[in-house]
Structure 1
Amino acid sequence: MTLQLNLQKSADKLRLSLDKAGVAADIKAELIFDMDVSGSFEHEHEEGTTSKLIARLVPYGMVLDPDGKMDVFTFSNDRGSVHHVGTVTPEDSDDYILRKVIDKVPGWKGGTTYSYVLERNLRHFGWLPAEENLGGLLSRFFGVQRDAPVAAQKRSVVVFVTDGENDPADHARTISVLEASERRGDQVYFLFMGACEHDVDFTFLRTIAARFKNTGVVIVRDLDGFVELSDEELNAQLLRPELLEWLRS
């Protein structure tokens, strides 16, 4: 109960920050949290730091998401590693990564590619049609034509957390996914968080954040310290002018 009370206090402070920034109370956006589960991030997952990070972001779902929840995806280095873990709520946020991700998701301790999970995010909220499965292919083979299902299009914010650079082999594909999304006018904002205390410059994240208007980047050198920030300090780190402008638009 104490955790839930603290999350509600954090949500109230977030709402106050949004009010001050001119983001109306009726403005909503679905929330997605993408978590890198590559091998280099294992320590932060196992010591509980990323679970604390999810818990700190739950108030954003409480305030912005129409259902008060946040969808959680994990990813590492290929299409098959992308996994929809489920949703996180105030009641289910404690030790979330420890309970539901470690050694339980596809691609655990793999490499790092960004494009496939970004594509899956866009499909999840209706900006791309769902991928055809085997049943769809068989239907076409037997002469039954069915359109690929499309989810309802939902205005969304994606918080994408990684501790490493994108595999260079995936750079062009990631840019292609973001370019196509921009051309379509998808109502999605991608907030990339590069979290690593080591010598990782996150050059690619900085490049795409500068290139696309619906992308931002936050570089965190001390994730343990970041998850212990006050609500006001955390909101100042995440609610950058570009994201606030996007929310107001």
Structure 2
Amino acid sequence: MTLQLNLKKSAETLRLSLDKAGVAADIKAELIFDMDVSGSFEHEHEEGTTSKLVARLVPYGMVLDPDGKVDVFSFSNGKAHVHHVGTVTPDDCENYIVRNVIDKVPGWKGGTTYSYVLERNLQHFGWLPGEETGGFLSRFLGISREAPVLEKKRSVVIFVTDGENDPSDEERTMRVLEDSEKRGDQVYFLFMGACEHTVEFKFLDTIAKRFKNTGVVIVRDLDSFVDLSDEELNAQLLGSELLQWLRS
């Protein structure tokens, strides 16, 4: 019950922050939360820090998402290791990563590539066509079906990683974001680099400077970050660019 009351209070504080920034109460955006499950992030998952982070972001879904839910994706390296974990709500956010991700998702403790999960995000909210259904045999027999065209939904992606993108995937990631920008997809990508070590997140900085619908937040102490007050957390996440995107 305490968590539920805290989440309601956090949602009220977020709404007040958005009001002050001139974001109208009827502005909505579907939310996606991308979680890196590479090997280097294992400790933060197992000790529950990333579960706390998910819970802290639930009020953003409560306020901004039309259905009050946040879609959660996990990723490590490659297309096969992108996984739609499900949705998270105020009712089931406690220990979410511990219960639903650790040792349960494809690519657990793998490497790190960004482009495939970003591509899947765009498919999930209708900005890219989905994959054909049916396997090799179905295609061989000529009975594969095109994936249904999904409704295009204005959306915000919060992308959390503890490491740099594999250099082999940098060009592909830039291409996914460039193509999205050219199409005019109504998506804002907020990248969060969370690592207490010497990772510089140069590629995330490059992305943030290159595209108007991308932002970056670097967190050097995730344990402290998830314990910030609501006002402090909102100040970190609601950058001027994201607020302008929400107002537009």
Q: Which position in structure 1 is the counterpart of 2:24?
A: 24
Is 2:194 the counterpart of 1:191?
A: no
Amino acid in structure 2 at the alignment position of 1:116: Y
Letter in structure 2 aligned against 1:73: F
For residues 84 and 133 of structure 2, what CA distance do their matches in structure 1 show? 17
Give distance in 2, aligned partners of 1:80 and 1:113: 11
1:245 aligns with 2:215: no
Match of 1:114 in 2: 114
Residues 191 and 216 in structure 1, CA contact (< 8 A), matched pair in contact too:
yes
State the match for 1:226 in structure 2.
225
AA paired with 1:6? Answer: N
CA distance in 2, matches of 1:173, 1:76: 15
Question: Structure 1 CA distance, aligned partners of 2:173 and 2:180?
Answer: 11
Contact 1:164 1:194 in 2 (8 A): yes
For residues 97 and 157 of structure 2, the distance between their equivalents in structure 1, rounded to whole angstroms, comes to 18
| Most deviating of 192-201 and 142-151 | 142-151
Deviations, residues 11-42 of structure 1 (Å, cap 9, x unaligned): 00000000000000000000000000000000
Distance 1:99 1:43 in 2: 15
Partners of 2:35 and 2:72 within 8 A in 1: yes
Instruction: Evaluate the alpha carbon distance shift between residue 9 and residue 146 of structure 1 in structure 2; reply closer, same or farther with a 3 A threshold.
Output: same
Counterpart of 2:180, as a letter, is S
Q: Identity, % of aligned pairs? A: 81
Q: Hey, what's the Cα distance between the residues in 2 that align with 1:152 and 1:29? A: 13
CA shift for structure 1 position 151: 1.1
Q: Secondary structure at the match of 1:206?
A: helix
Distance 2:6 2:136 in 1: 47
- Are the aligned partners of 1:136 and 1:146 in contact in 2 as well (CA < 8 Å)? no
Using the size of structure 1 for normalisation, the TM-score is 0.97
Per the alignment, in what secondary structure is the counterpart of residue 229 of structure 1? coil
What are the residue-to-residue correspondences of 1:35-50 with 2, within 5 Å? Answer: 35-50=35-50
What is the deviation of 1:226? 0.2
Per the alignment, residue 83 of structure 2 pairs with 83
Where in structure 2 are there 5+ consecutive unaligned residues? none
Structure 1: 5+ residue stretches without partners: none
Q: Which residue of 2 aligns with 1:125?
A: 125
Give 1:22's aligned amino acid: G
Q: Deviations over 1:137-172 (max 9, x none)?
A: 836x55568544221100000000000000000000
Q: Which residue of 1 aligns with 2:166?
A: 167
Shift in alpha-carbon separation, 1:45–1:146, aligned structure 2, 3 A: closer
SS where residue 42 of structure 1 aligns? Answer: helix
Deviations 1:86-118 (CA, angstroms, capped at 9, x unpaired): 000001000000111000000000000000000
Distance 1:213-1:136 versus aligned 2 partners, 3 A rule: farther
- Tell me, what secondary structure is at the counterpart of 2:80? helix
Aligned to 2:11: 11
Against the structure 1 CA distance between its residues 89 and 145, is the aligned structure 2 distance closer, same or farther, given a 3 Å change threshold? closer
Matches within 5 A, 1:130-145: 130-134=130-134, 138=138, 141-142=140-141
The CA deviation string for residues 194-229 of structure 1, in whole angstroms up to 9 with x for no partner, is 000000000000000100000000000000000000
